[in-house]
Structure 1
């Protein structure tokens, strides 16, 4: 199912907009096929960004759809599509009773896995002693880093890996983008550091350096990080530290 906004509103400040569609039907398979038709017919025109359909655990004829839009105005654009009006009338005919619609301006939207990942980047960059990571990383954590010959396995090994970076630099992470889907969170970040100690055999230079990268984390049902894949510009970092001088032609 998709959003069919039938309730007038006042618009206002642009914010994420959600509609809840509540219906009862014994012909859900027919409605599902109808919605597939709508998706095909409105390709490139619809404005919905996310839709979830749920079936009542205690009533197999009761369905609820939650549909998200960037704003109320975008929802109105979707509602005014001629394809939407046609499909809406056909959908009503398949329902046991008239569907109900609830319009919501979202005032809080918390992606819990993404928030935990963001906190991980903040925590490993704090000055002083490395805080405990027990509430962020699982004991059986598995780390994939192309700069390491072997994967890092386990909480203790990951703490040592983080410690190597912390002993070489004072650094911070700026989270530029995050995308969360299912149990995976992808983060594009910018790392800024000052070399304050030895790193990869290089003595401290005091240089300020910058590196960009992306990390994909997998989280478990508790929200802890259980696996990570890193991609970052380590060659560029080493060049900034002067490690490549003399190797350039």
Structure 2
């Protein structure tokens, strides 16, 4: 079970404390087990700091805590604090990553039945989309909706998200798209064929959790082959 430690302290010597922490990170490289660390400063009190440290489990946290360097840094940090830091030990019982959740909702919405929703709760008005199969990038929510409608009009489709990786404001999605060709697509009349395509999309999110930029990579040549568009070229 993921484990989180909150360290609450007050200090007017944060710059010194930060240098100690950077030295500790270097000294324990390859042996400490924390997966994520965030330090926040109280907007109402510049001497009040909270560090949030995430570990794969409580046992891994204890392994890091018992390193000789960890015991030394704790004594040095306490000496820089106004009073003794307080610790809150948490077992994580729910972990929702907003950007990753919105990425999943985006792909689900793209293939929803009926009219395409406005998408303004998922995509910024000036979203910038990069797709190597397009001669120019697509910019703006209205232009993106028109592009999505072209695909929706041509195919009954669904995405399977094979992997979703989130880091910072970026989410990378590895997906498989399965569809039935029901309408005209790039001059190809409906074939009724079942087709599939694999691809990957990198999404950059704005601070409010909306998609601000996308990069698409997908096997459209393979799709065209499945639709029979390459048959004339081969004869």
Task: Confirm or deny a common fold (TM above 0.5).
Answer: yes
Residue of structure 1 in register with 2:151 after alignment: 165
Aligned residues: 235
TM-fit CA distance, 1:114: 2.4
TM-score relative to the length of structure 1: 0.85
Q: 2:100 aligns with which of 114, 118, 125?
A: 114
TM-fit CA distance, 1:102: 0.4
For the pair 1:51 / 2:50, whether they are aligned, the reply is: no
Q: 1:64 aligns with which of 39, 50, 59?
A: 50
SS of the equivalent of 1:174 reads: strand
Residues 87-98 of structure 1 mapped to structure 2, 5 A cutoff:
87-98=73-84
Moved over 6 A (4+): none
TM-score relative to the length of structure 2: 0.90
User: CA offsets per residue over residues 141-160 of structure 1, 9 Å max, x none?
Assistant: 22211111011122222111
TM-fit CA distance, 1:45: 1.5
Distance in 1 separating the partners of 2:186 and 2:209: 33
SS of the equivalent of 2:100 reads: helix
The worse-fitting range, judged by mean Cα deviation, of 100-109 and 173-182 is 173-182
Change (3 A) 1:21 1:238: same
User: CA offsets per residue over residues 25-73 of structure 1, 9 Å max, x none?
Assistant: 2222121111111111111111111111012223222211001112222
User: CA offsets per residue over residues 189-224 of structure 1, 9 Å max, x none?
Assistant: 221222222222223333322222222223334322
Distance in 2 separating the partners of 1:71 and 1:236: 44
Residue of structure 1 in register with 2:200 after alignment: 214
Consecutive unaligned residues of structure 2, counting only runs of 5 or more, are none
SS of the equivalent of 1:198 reads: coil
Distance in 1 separating the partners of 2:230 and 2:79: 71
Distance in 1 separating the partners of 2:145 and 2:128: 12
Distance in 1 separating the partners of 2:92 and 2:220: 40
Q: 1:80 aligns with which of 66, 86, 94?
A: 66
Distance in 2 separating the partners of 1:109 and 1:37: 30
Distance in 1 separating the partners of 2:48 and 2:120: 41
Residue of structure 2 in register with 1:228 after alignment: 214
Q: 1:126 aligns with which of 112, 119, 124?
A: 112
Distance in 1 separating the partners of 2:70 and 2:166: 29
Distance in 1 separating the partners of 2:127 and 2:92: 35
Distance in 1 separating the partners of 2:119 and 2:102: 11
Q: 1:100 aligns with which of 76, 86, 95?
A: 86
RMSD (Å), alpha carbons? 2.1
For the pair 1:143 / 2:126, whether they are aligned, the reply is: no
Distance in 2 separating the partners of 1:45 and 1:241: 53
SS of the equivalent of 1:59 reads: coil
TM-fit CA distance, 1:246: 5.3
The worse-fitting range, judged by mean Cα deviation, of 176-185 and 149-158 is 176-185
